[in-house]
Amino acid sequence: MKKAKVLVTGGLGYIGSHTVVELLKANYQPIIVDNLSNSKLGMLKQIEAITGVKPDFYNFDLCDEKLVAEFVAGEKDLDSVIHFAAYKAVGESVAEPLKYYRNNFNSLLSVLKALEERQLKLVFSSSCTVYGQPDSLPVNEFEAVKQAESPYGNTKQVAEEILQDIARADKSKKVISLRYFNPVGAHESALIGELPLGIPQNLVPFVTQSAIGIRGPITVFGDDYNTRDGSCIRDYIHVVDLAMAHVAALKFEGKDGANQNFNTFNVGTGKGYTVLELIKAFEKTTGVNLNYKIGARRAGDIEQIWGDVTKAQKELNWEAQLGIDEMMKSAWAWEQYLQNHQID
Ligand code: NAD
Ligand code: WQD
């Protein structure tokens, strides 16, 4: 039987590469477009080492409307698109908002324009960042007010509105926006994982780099929050579970009886861990002691957030399977792999 073709934009990045592996396992044919602005070509070989398949790969900038149109014109039988390509560093987006608005909107708009006449499904990478600090927890998809607090977050919030308008105007398009919570961890093979450039801003890559000696002590950003141990709470999700949510989204046919072609889903575990709990979990599962100190709060941090994931469980038939121990163990295995292997 012919395999369903899925265009995966940003498919060599952290979440994209794990999703490509799951798509291959589920018998889809992924076609990757990535301009390597935040990833390495070597990821293609890593994917091949896991799956035995080297997926089709095209290196160009998705902001280039003409190139995207030409590419899509040559791919007549695309079934769906998963749009990962975007810049994602919150702090950088505050310093350079135009860079974020330009890349995140232009890439999305040129993909949408090129696919204007096609009937297909589009899965979009959104983020729990659209919720800001929610009034009640766990946060669900229907009640929370969207209140992104950075230019990056705003690109996700506005992109969802753009996608909703497009779905409303063209019922043949099925759009699914997945609001990821905090993706961490790596593939169990330790052949793919997150490749942070420079000093990691996110907690888990900093933890693993500190543990292996690339970085100094970890600073816990604040222990005076109104949480059980004073440090911030997040809903960490294993990147392989997150990748599988994309496969579930491709299979999603819409809720029975509902004529709705735009859907949003929280993709998390539904459980929150504090920074200090995550540090303890890392130490317990890996047997490595971490060097950490309590520091000042980080500007702009949300005190606590975790997701209500019942909608994804019921409608996507998807649920996170892996817990904090697997997240820490796999993140550590990947850091150790990187110590002996160069990915270019
Ligand atoms: P990533 O940076 O590892 O992957 C993004 C990929 O897109 C990179 O390989 C990059 O080279 C590519 N890219 C960016 N702009 C491009 C362009 N104009 N043309 C072609 N390729 C381009 O990031 P990730 O962590 O895998 O995130 C994937 C998506 O998920 C992003 O949209 C991100 O905003 C979103 N997201 C990420 C997180 C997270 O914590 N990692 C959380 C929520 C949402
Ligand atoms: C997690 C917790 C920090 C580093 C970001 C984006 C969000 C989404 C996910 C894309 C926080 C604490 C961190 C450190 C620490 N991305 N921390 N010491 O801020 O929840 O979310 O990534 O959509 O939009 O904002 O993730 O990993 O940076 O931080 O104490 O050295 O770890 O304060 O409580 P965050 P993070």
> Relative to the CA of 183, which ligand 2 atom is closest?
9
Residue pair 138/128 in contact (Cβ under 8 Å)? The answer is: no
Residue pair 282/239 in contact (Cβ under 8 Å)? The answer is: no
Q: Whose CA is nearest to atom 36 of ligand 2?
A: 202
Mutate to test the pocket of ligand 2, among 204, 221, 236, 276 (most ligand atoms within 8 A of CB): 221
> Relative to the CA of 153, which ligand 2 atom is closest?
24
Strands 174-180 and 56-58: unpaired
Output the DSSP codes for 91-134: HHHHH-HHHHHHHHHHHHHHHHHHTTT---EEEEEEEGGGG-S-
Instruction: Specify the pLDDT at position 330.
Output: 98
- Is residue 235 predicted with pLDDT exceeding 60? yes
Give the residue-averaged pLDDT of 55-76: 97
**In this predicted model, what pLDDT tens digit does every residue of 169-194 receive, in sequence order?**
999 999 999 999 999 999 999 999 99
Distance CA(222)–CA(224), nearest Å, equals: 6
Strands 233-234 and 273-274: antiparallel
Distance CA(306)–CA(271), nearest Å, equals: 6
ipTM of the complex: 0.99
Question: For the whole model, what pTM was predicted?
Answer: 0.98
Q: Whose CA is nearest to atom 9 of ligand 2?
A: 182
Sign of torsion over alpha carbons 225, 228, 229, 235: negative
Among candidate residues 32, 15, 266, the one with its CA nearest the CA of residue 160? 266
- The 3-class secondary structure across 276-327, one letter per residue, is HHHHHHHHHHHCCCCCEEEECCCCCCCCECCECCHHHHHHHCCCCCCCHHHH
**Is 152 among the catalytic positions?**
yes
Terminal CA-CA length for the chain: 35
Residue pair 173/344 in contact (Cβ under 8 Å)? The answer is: no
Give the residue-averaged pLDDT of 305-323: 98
- Provide the 8-state DSSP code for 139: B
Mutate to test the pocket of ligand 2, among 90, 199, 203 (most ligand atoms within 8 A of CB): 203
- Is residue 258 predicted with pLDDT exceeding 70? no
CA of residue 125 to ligand 1 center, whole Å: 8
Mutate to test the pocket of ligand 1, among 88, 131, 203 (most ligand atoms within 8 A of CB): 88
The token pair at 339 is 């110590």
Interacting residues of 173 by C-beta distance below 8 A, sequence separation 6+: 119, 120, 121, 122, 166, 167, 261
> Relative to the CA of 220, which ligand 2 atom is closest?
30
Binding site membership of 39 for ligand 1 (Cβ less than 6 Å): yes
Q: Where are the alpha helices (DSSP H) in 235-274?
A: 239-251
CA of residue 149 to ligand 1 center, whole Å: 19
The token pair at 97 is 């908002």
Binding site membership of 84 for ligand 1 (Cβ less than 6 Å): yes
Distance CA(286)–CA(294), nearest Å, equals: 22
Length of the chain, please?
A: 344
pLDDT band at 66 (very low <50, low <70, confident <90, very high): very high
Give the residue-averaged pLDDT of 188-207: 96
The token pair at 190 is 């330790």
Indicate the burial class of 213 (C-beta count within 10 angstroms; 0-12, 13-18, 19 or more). exposed
**In this predicted model, what pLDDT tens digit does every residue of 209-233 receive, in sequence order?**
999 999 999 999 999 999 999 999 9
- Greater confidence, 144 or 158? 158
Distance CA(262)–CA(123), nearest Å, equals: 10
The residue written with tokens 């600090």 in the block is 133
Distance CA(252)–CA(245), nearest Å, equals: 10
Q: Which residue of the set 152, 225, 236, 273 is catalytic?
A: 152
Q: Give me the amino acid identity at 10.
A: G
Domains of the chain: 5-338 (3.40.50.720)
**Lowest mean pLDDT: which of 32-41, 144-153, 185-194?**
144-153
